[in-house]
């Protein structure tokens, strides 16, 4: 009998994103923004199928964010550079920066 092969482990960010989308994890602004940032495939060397999967997850997370928190969001047109706040660099995350 040959040993069973384990299925490749899915990256933690993708598992977390699915948990948010399925309602198994709390989905506040900070959690959603962090998940959107983590699954974003831009700038990563990924296979085309993985890239499409991540863009799909990113779009679904963005839709959930807008659907749940539309009254708290302020949309501004801006050009972002390395100085734009992110959940990692702004201390309080985008939830404070994006909320009224």
- Domain contains 2: no
Q: Is the residue at 4 inside a domain?
A: no
For residue 32, being part of any structural domain is answered with yes
Does residue 16 fall inside a structural domain?
yes
Model confidence at 70, pLDDT cuts 50, 70, 90, reads: confident
Containing structural domain, residue 93: 12-77+85-98
- In the predicted model, what is the mean pLDDT of residues 40-47? 92
Is residue 48 a part of any domain in this protein?
A: yes
pLDDT band of residue 57 (cuts 50, 70, 90) is very high
- Please count the CA atoms within 13 angstroms of the CA of 7 that sit on its side-chain side: 3
Mean pLDDT of 40-59: 94
**CA angle centred on 53, ends 50 and 57, rounded to 5°:** 135
Q: What is the pTM of this model?
A: 0.68
5 domain-assigned: no
pLDDT of res. 75: 73
Residue 29 lies in a domain: yes
Which pLDDT does position 3 carry in this prediction? 65
In a domain, 1, yes or no: no
Number of domains in the chain: 1
pLDDT at position 13:
92
């Amino acid at each position: 009998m040959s040993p069973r092969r384990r299925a490749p482990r899915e990256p933690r960010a993708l598992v977390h994103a699915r948990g948010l989308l399925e309602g198994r994890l709390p989905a506040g602004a900070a959690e959603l923004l962090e998940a959107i940032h983590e699954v974003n495939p831009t700038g990563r060397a990924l296979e085309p199928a993985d890239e499409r999967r991540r863009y799909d997850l990113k779009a679904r997370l963005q839709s959930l964010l807008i659907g749940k928190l539309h009254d708290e969001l302020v949309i501004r047109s801006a050009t972002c550079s390395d100085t734009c706040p992110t959940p990692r660099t702004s201390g309080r995350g985008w939830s404070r920066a994006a909320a009224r």
